[in-house]
């Protein structure tokens, strides 16, 4: 099934890129001296995870509802048009997470039960500062851009678990990394972005405006984290001028080689963008705009990763 979905998306994007019209925002740059702001919020909830073999499984504890993994991600983003062809990027990513096993009693280092209702750990902090730039190479027959981004580890999020009520220093030190909200590494990522908008003839008088885009890249990691290959596919259409319906596939594959930390995932999302006023989130022509976006996503496959169900909200503006 996964191969069929990927093949369909690939054919859809290739067909769309040979059509003519405007361009896709993923590859597009912000107009000169204009500012694009976005506040990204994501809530993830899971009761299963993908193991090292890519199999969807639960914890060793028995029962379908043996554990719950929750994470809140917030990331304000800013893009500034240095020129019409060059955009500067920056964002700050923070996370708050909680993990609980309902059928595993909480014990102290000596084996005494402290909290019989379940094992719980929490963690939160700023995990990454991201800076970079996007350079638009060409406009026709489709838009082609390259993007460079640096992920800077802030020193927080690792060794910062929240479990003060236990009261045992040694036990606290063993628990400070749980639940994991980051690997404590810096990264350098390079991507190639392509995209285009187009119209599909539905009747003699009506054409449905659509768009499609793709991103492919490579991410170099340090501190024992293996390098990886990120890629992203996206497409959508406008049933009304003020409403965009969209779907996307966000994936990351871990490359083999040195490094003790390995993980990969594929997340499918679908949602809608309500264009409250002004332009939209795909065409960037210098117009003032304000958008609200809502998405729902599921982790379709992965290795060494949690199988989250995601609820995403984005608030976007350009001026």
**Tens of pLDDT along 82-126?**
999 999 999 999 999 988 777 666 666 666 666 556 677 788 888
Percent of all residues in the chain with a pLDDT value above 70, rounded to a whole number: 74
Q: Which residue has the tokens 């065409």?
A: 283
User: Residue 269's domain is classified under what CATH number?
Assistant: 2.40.160.40
The 3-state DSSP class for residue 3 equals helix
Please write the tens of the pLDDT for every residue from 230-278. Answer: 999 999 999 998 999 999 999 999 987 767 677 899 999 999 999 888 7
Q: Are 104 and 92 in contact (CB under 8 A)?
A: no
What is the count of structural domains for the chain?
A: 1
State the pLDDT confidence band at 64, using cuts at 50, 70 and 90: very low
The one-character DSSP state at 255 is P
Query: What is the pLDDT, as a whole number, of residue 111?
Result: 65
Q: Are 275 and 312 in contact (CB under 8 A)?
A: no
User: How far is CA 175 from each of CA 56, 61, 117, 305, rounded to the nearest angstrom?
Assistant: 25, 20, 18, 19
State the pLDDT confidence band at 10, using cuts at 50, 70 and 90: very low
The one-character DSSP state at 184 is S
- Cβ neighbourhood burial of 154 (10 Å; 0-12, 13-18, 19+): middle
Q: How far apart (Å, rounded) are the C-alpha atoms in residues 96 and 91?
A: 17
User: How far is CA 29 from each of CA 13, 21, 84, 88, 144, rounded to the nearest angstrom?
Assistant: 20, 17, 7, 9, 10
Provide the mean pLDDT of the chain. 81
Segment 281-305 shows an average pLDDT of 84
Query: What is the pLDDT, as a whole number, of residue 21?
Result: 36
Q: How far apart (Å, rounded) are the C-alpha atoms in residues 217 and 41?
A: 24
| Residues 6 or more apart in contact with residue 286 via CB below 8 angstroms | 31, 34
Q: Are 81 and 89 in contact (CB under 8 A)?
A: no
Q: Is the dihedral of CA 43, 48, 50, 51 positive or negative?
A: positive
Whole-model pTM over 0.85 = no
Query: What is the pLDDT, as a whole number, of residue 7?
Result: 52
User: How far is CA 53 from each of CA 249, 262, 263, rounded to the nearest angstrom?
Assistant: 21, 12, 11
Q: Are 197 and 211 in contact (CB under 8 A)?
A: yes
Q: Which residue has the tokens 């024992």?
A: 224
Q: Are 121 and 99 in contact (CB under 8 A)?
A: yes
The one-character DSSP state at 162 is B
Query: What is the pLDDT, as a whole number, of residue 17?
Result: 38
The 3-state DSSP class for residue 294 equals strand
| Residues 128-138 as b or e (16 or more Cβ within 10 Å = b) | bebebbbebee
State the pLDDT confidence band at 315, using cuts at 50, 70 and 90: very high
C-alpha 18: how far from its chain's center?
28
Measure the N-to-C terminal CA separation of the chain; round to a whole number of Å: 43
The one-character DSSP state at 174 is H
Q: Is it the case that residue 182 has pLDDT exceeding 60?
A: yes
Bridge partners, residue 7, by sequence: none
Q: Is it the case that residue 219 has pLDDT exceeding 80?
A: yes
Structural domain containing residue 138: 2-318
183 or 81: which leads in pLDDT: 81
How much is the CA Rg of the chain, to the nearest whole Å?
Answer: 22
């Amino acid at each position: 099934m996964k191969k069929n979905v990927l093949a369909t998306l690939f054919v859809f994007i290739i067909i769309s890129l040979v059509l003519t019209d405007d361009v896709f925002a993923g590859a597009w740059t912000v107009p000169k001296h204009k500012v694009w702001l976005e506040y990204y919020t994501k809530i993830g909830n899971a009761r299963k995870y993908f193991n090292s073999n890519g199999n969807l499984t639960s914890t060793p504890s028995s029962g379908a509802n043996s554990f719950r993994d929750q994470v809140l991600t917030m990331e304000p983003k800013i893009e500034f048009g240095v020129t019409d062809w060059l955009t500067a990027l920056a964002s700050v990513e923070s996370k708050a997470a909680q993990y609980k096993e309902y059928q595993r009693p909480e014990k102290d280092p000596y084996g005494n039960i402290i909290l019989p209702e379940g094992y719980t750990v929490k963690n939160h902090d700023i995990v990454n500062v991201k800076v970079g730039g996007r350079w638009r190479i060409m406009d026709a027959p489709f838009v082609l851009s390259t993007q460079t981004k640096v992920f800077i580890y802030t020193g927080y999020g690792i060794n910062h678990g929240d479990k003060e009520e236990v009261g045992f220093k040694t036990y606290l030190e063993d628990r400070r990394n749980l639940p994991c909200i980051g690997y404590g590494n810096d990264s350098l990522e390079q991507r190639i972005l392509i995209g285009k908008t187009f119209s599909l003839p539905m009747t003699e008088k009506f054409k449905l405006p659509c768009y499609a885009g793709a991103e492919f890249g490579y991410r170099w990691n340090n501190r024992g984290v293996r390098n990886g290959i990120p890629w992203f596919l996206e497409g959508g259409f406008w049933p009304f001028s003020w409403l965009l319906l969209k779907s996307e596939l966000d994936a990351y594959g871990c490359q083999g080689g040195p490094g003790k930390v390995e993980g990969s995932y594929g997340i499918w999302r679908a949602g809608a963008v309500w264009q409250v006023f002004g332009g939209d989130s795909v065409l960037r022509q210098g117009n003032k705009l304000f958008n609200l976006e809502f998405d729902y996503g599921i982790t379709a496959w992965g290795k060494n990763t949690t199988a989250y169900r995601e609820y995403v909200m984005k608030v976007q503006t350009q001026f």
